[in-house]
Each structure stands twice: as structure tokens, then as C-alpha cells.
Amino acid sequence: MFDIAEIIPIIIIALTAITSVKGFNDMAFFDRYKFNVGAILGTSKQWDRMLTSATLHGDYMHLIFNMFTLYIFSDVIIHEFGVWKYLAIYFLSIIGGGLLSLWMHRKEYYYSAIGASGGVVGVLFAAIAIYPNMTLGIMFIIPMPAWIFGIAYLAFSVYAMQKQQGNIGHDAHLGGAAIGLIMAILFEPALLKVHPEYIGLMILPLIVLAYFAWKKK
């Protein structure tokens, strides 16, 4: 007998891989389902792109990195919260990342993005909220406590978002991280009592993010 909870991440990864590979070889498919501000806010109102864009990736390395990270941390969330809360964290983090991107680029109808990073980062940061002292590494090389990694990641992402550095959707990452942290706390409020200092420190960059998002009128 197999446990359905154990194969849910595999199903997500498999479906994402299939649609991503199709997108590599079918530009019409890729263009229809990618995140695009004009297609979402324009006359067509294609809000489905908020989710479908997470099933597309720029290349095999992008796809493999995202899906490997999702696979590694999915087990932590499912073990702690169960499969339905895991799915809620993943998909709501995708939407949260998309909404922040939509807000930050709402006047740039040409802006497009793809990738499951919002959901993946949401799962990652929910896992960090649960186990802030587990060891993580920058590019799997420099080991450090997860809460330090979280602060560094969020602080750099806020900075890079403001400077618009690189071809990376930092706003989607930040939106996903915020949703992941918030939902972990909502599902397990005791985390605030067990790890108040770690979670508080990770929230600080998100407060700075909220200020910049509010300021962008």
C-alpha cells in the first residue's frame, strides 16, 4: 500500500516537467500560459496565467533546480501539516508571488515571467519557520542555520528587486516567501512562541518589502 501524501509532490513535479518541456518546444503554448501583465490586466483578463505560469520554465536547469528544491522540502511540510495544507502553501504561494509581481509591474504591460519559484520558495520558507536551525547552504556550498539563510535571502531579494538586478523574478520569490511564512504560522501558531526571534528577524525584510510595495504607486 502506498501513501497518497508521499506521491503528491511527485505528481506536481511530473506535471510541471511535462508542461515545461512542452513549453520548450511549443512557443504558442509557452506564450499563452506564461505570466504576462498585459494579458492578465488587459481586455482578455487571463487570470489563469497566475497559476499556469508556474508550470513553465526557461530551460532545463531552471526546471531541475526548482523541482529538486520542491522535492527536498515537501516532505517537511507534509510531515508537519499534512498533504492538504502542503498543497495550500504551495499554490497560495504561487498566487501570492504572482500578485506581488502584478502589483510591482502593473504599469509594464510587456512584463512576463515563468517558473514555480513562488510556490517553491513558499514551501522552503514554511520549512524554515518549522525548523529554523536546520542547516542550509547558499547554492548548497556555504552551510549556515536556515534562519540566517532566510534573512540573507530575503534581504538580498528586496535589494535586487529594487535595483531590478538580473533576469530573475525577485518579487515573485518574495511574495511566495511571505505567504509560506504566514501560512506556517497560521497552521501552527505555537511557532511564534517556540521560535519568536528567528521568525521575527525573517519578517523584518518583509516589512521593508511591504514599504516598497506601498510606495510604488
The CATH number for 165's domain is 1.20.1540.10
Band the pLDDT of 115: cuts 50, 70, 90: very high
Q: What's the CA dihedral at 78, 79, 82, 88 to 10 degrees? A: -30
Q: Is the dihedral of CA 157, 163, 164, 167 positive or negative?
A: negative
Beta-carbon contacts of residue 184 (< 8 Å; ≥ 6 apart): 81, 89, 125, 126, 129, 130, 191
**What is the percent of the chain with per-residue pLDDT over 70, rounded to a whole number?**
94
**Secondary structure class of 114 (helix, strand, coil):** coil
Q: Which residue has the higher pLDDT, 116 or 214?
A: 116
Q: Quote the CA–CA distance of 128 and 146 in Å, as a whole number.
A: 6
- Given this model, what pLDDT does residue 55 score? 96
Q: Is the dihedral of CA 146, 213, 159, 141 positive or negative?
A: positive
- Given this model, what pLDDT does residue 138 score? 64
**For 120, phi and psi rounded to 5 degrees?**
-65, -45
Domain around 128: 4-215
- Given this model, what pLDDT does residue 213 score? 74
The pLDDT tens digits of the residues spanning 66-102 come to 999 999 999 999 999 999 999 999 999 999 999 999 9
pLDDT at 1 over 80: no
The pLDDT tens digits of the residues spanning 138-190 come to 655 778 899 999 998 888 888 887 776 556 778 899 999 999 999 999 999 99
Give how many domains the chain has, as a whole number. 1
pTM of the model: 0.92
**What is the percent of the chain with per-residue pLDDT over 90, rounded to a whole number?**
63
- Given this model, what pLDDT does residue 135 score? 87
Q: Which amino acid, one-letter code, is at 79?
A: H
